[in-house]
């Protein structure tokens, strides 16, 4: 059947066009010169085929035209609003569709259509913002995995607000380095809220220890984020914690024991309202009485001062300058030294500083052991086999 024969068909004709013929028309259109009679005829044939009852026919046309900037615009736009299997190739690849059209299609589309748009190469910031604002959970996850998409920090923040109760989206968000530390912390804390009744917690942590376990887990999250924070980000993160009442004495003591000296210094500077560079110099140079005045000004309880003063002494002896974090072996030595020198003294109503230090020392030792195993896993495996 020629194109002329096809265009002469009426609704009463029983003839149908197979997929191969539809594909041929699409390919002939793309191969024809602009303005030629061949291209006009092929465009007419493709337009008629938009009403073909066979999805396979329309899908074949969509696949053939999807990536071409020369495809007939009206055909592409009709296919973009078709059923999922027809629309998806167009939505994912077609350069014909404008930014405004994609936003409209996104708002009205199914999950599969939204995901196709979210997969597009080099998505603009405006379309990314629209997906973060109205996209389905699946589309948002797809967008976050699209490394070529131009997702602004403001869009990530909006998405975090929308999807804080969706763990899978949160997991993808947390992989983004563009998400501010404060928001990463909030998402992690939201996920932690569901740990109370997690099967692993219920099975492995005795009921009377769960509150302490979850509290320790929260502190570990903070210090992990602090370790990854840049010098510019850390003060803002510390301020966020202070505003939300999370900058506790226990957290600062854990920070010292884990060697997170940058976080410790930034926290003291924030609490004592002292510029951070000046505070770092004071921690290295002033006498104990002046250090104690700094701790008092920061609002740290008197019963905790001995531990902090000793920790600062040990850090000085290790030539630390509070502008970088200690390695795990140095942190373990610091904690062990503190334990050896500390006298019992209440940090809280029912726990003392030494008890906290013992628990922190165990945590640091575990972290160091895991790192050693990770770095020397091959030798460990061979030794195990030899035994």
What is the SS3 assignment for 329-342?
HHHHHHHHHHHHHC
The pLDDT assigned to 215 comes to: 72
Which tens digit of pLDDT belongs to each residue from 256-294? Answer: 888 889 999 999 999 999 999 999 999 989 898 999 999
The pLDDT assigned to 195 comes to: 58
Where do we find the tokens 């004709």? 13
| Whether pLDDT at 13 is above 80 | no
Task: Calculate what percentage of the chain has a pLDDT beyond 90.
Answer: 46
234-243 helix and 181-192 helix, angle to the nearest 10 degrees = 50
Which tens digit of pLDDT belongs to each residue from 119-170? Answer: 999 999 999 999 999 999 999 999 999 999 999 989 998 998 898 888 889 8
Q: pLDDT: is 275 or 381 the higher one? A: 275
368 band by pLDDT with thresholds 50, 70 and 90: low
Q: Rounded to an integer, what distance in angstroms lies between the CA atom of residue 39 and that of residue 25?
A: 10
Are 243 and 237 in contact by the 8 Å Cβ rule? The answer is no
Across the strands, what pairs with 217? Answer: none
Instruction: Write the burial class of residue 381 (CB in 10 Å: 0-12 exposed, 13-18 middle, 19+ buried).
Output: exposed
The phi and psi torsions of 346 (rounded to 5 degrees) equal -70, 125
| Whether pLDDT at 208 is above 60 | no
Instruction: Tell me which residue of 38, 50, 41, 57 sits closest to 74, measured CA to CA.
Output: 50
The phi and psi torsions of 352 (rounded to 5 degrees) equal -115, 170
382 band by pLDDT with thresholds 50, 70 and 90: very low
The phi and psi torsions of 290 (rounded to 5 degrees) equal -70, -40
Are 45 and 83 in contact by the 8 Å Cβ rule? The answer is no
Instruction: Answer positive or negative: Cα dihedral of 62, 64, 66, 70.
Output: negative
Average pLDDT over residues 94-119: 96
90 band by pLDDT with thresholds 50, 70 and 90: very high
Are 52 and 30 in contact by the 8 Å Cβ rule? The answer is no
Tell me the average pLDDT of the chain. Answer: 82
Q: pLDDT: is 36 or 307 the higher one? A: 36
User: If you count them, how many residues does the chain have?
Assistant: 387
The pLDDT assigned to 386 comes to: 39
Instruction: Write the burial class of residue 339 (CB in 10 Å: 0-12 exposed, 13-18 middle, 19+ buried).
Output: middle
197 band by pLDDT with thresholds 50, 70 and 90: low
Q: Rounded to an integer, what distance in angstroms lies between the CA atom of residue 293 and that of residue 311?
A: 16
Q: How many CA atoms lie within 13 A of 235 on its CB side?
A: 12
Average pLDDT over residues 87-108: 96
Average pLDDT over residues 317-327: 83
The pLDDT assigned to 159 comes to: 92
Are 296 and 271 in contact by the 8 Å Cβ rule? The answer is no
Q: pLDDT: is 21 or 342 the higher one? A: 21
Are 86 and 59 in contact by the 8 Å Cβ rule? The answer is yes
213 band by pLDDT with thresholds 50, 70 and 90: low
| Whether pLDDT at 245 is above 50 | yes
Q: Rounded to an integer, what distance in angstroms lies between the CA atom of residue 387 and that of residue 302?
A: 53
| Whether pLDDT at 313 is above 70 | yes
| Whether pLDDT at 343 is above 70 | no
The pLDDT assigned to 227 comes to: 86
The pLDDT assigned to 94 comes to: 97
| Whether pLDDT at 328 is above 90 | no
Task: Calculate what percentage of the chain has a pLDDT beyond 70.
Answer: 79
Are 144 and 172 in contact by the 8 Å Cβ rule? The answer is yes
The phi and psi torsions of 32 (rounded to 5 degrees) equal -75, 155
Average pLDDT over residues 302-310: 85
Paired tokens of 192: 């932690």
Instruction: Tell me which residue of 202, 201, 192, 196 sits closest to 224, measured CA to CA.
Output: 192
The pLDDT assigned to 229 comes to: 85
The pLDDT assigned to 371 comes to: 65
The pLDDT assigned to 265 comes to: 95
Q: pLDDT: is 330 or 357 the higher one? A: 330
The pLDDT assigned to 129 comes to: 96
């Amino acid at each position: 059947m020629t194109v002329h024969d096809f265009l002469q068909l009426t609704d009463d004709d029983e003839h149908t066009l197979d997929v191969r013929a539809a594909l041929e028309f699409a390919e002939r259109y793309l191969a024809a010169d602009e303005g030629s009679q061949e291209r006009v005829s092929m465009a007419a044939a493709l337009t008629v085929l938009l009403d073909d009852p066979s999805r396979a026919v329309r899908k074949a046309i969509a696949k053939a035209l999807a990536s071409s900037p020369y495809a007939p615009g009206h055909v592409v736009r009709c296919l973009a609003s078709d059923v999922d299997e027809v629309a998806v190739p167009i939505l994912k690849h077609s350069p014909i569709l404008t930014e405004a059209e994609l936003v409209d299609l996104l708002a009205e589309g199914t999950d599969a259509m939204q995901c196709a748009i979210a997969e597009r190469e080099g998505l603009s910031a405006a379309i990314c913002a629209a997906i973060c604002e109205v996209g389905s959970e699946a589309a948002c996850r797809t967008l976050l995995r699209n490394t070529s998409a131009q997702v602004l920090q403001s869009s990530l923040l909006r998405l975090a607000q929308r999807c804080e109760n969706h763990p899978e989206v949160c997991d993808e968000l947390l992989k983004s380095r563009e998400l501010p530390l404060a928001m990463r912390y909030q998402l992690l804390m939201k996920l932690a809220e569901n740990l109370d009744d997690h099967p692993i917690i219920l099975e492995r942590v005795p009921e009377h220890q769960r509150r302490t376990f979850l509290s320790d887990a929260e502190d570990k999250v903070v210090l992990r984020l602090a370790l990854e924070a840049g010098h510019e980000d850390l003060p803002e993160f510390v301020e966020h914690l202070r505003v939300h009442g999370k900058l506790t004495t226990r957290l600062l003591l854990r920070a010292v024991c884990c060697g997170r000296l940058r976080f410790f210094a930034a926290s003291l500077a924030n609490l004592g309202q002292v510029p951070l560079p000046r505070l770092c110099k004071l921690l290295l140079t002033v006498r104990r009485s002046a250090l104690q005045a700094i701790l008092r000004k920061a609002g740290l309880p008197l019963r905790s001062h001995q531990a902090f003063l000793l920790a600062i002494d040990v850090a000085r002896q290790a030539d630390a300058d509070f502008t970088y974090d200690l390695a795990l072996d140095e942190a373990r030595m610091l904690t062990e030294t503190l334990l050896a020198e500390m006298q019992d003294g209440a940090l809280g109503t029912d726990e003392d500083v030494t008890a906290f230090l013992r628990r922190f020392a165990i945590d640091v030792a575990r972290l160091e052991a895991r790192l050693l195993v990770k770095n020397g896993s091959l030798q460990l495996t061979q030794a195990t086999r030899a035994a």
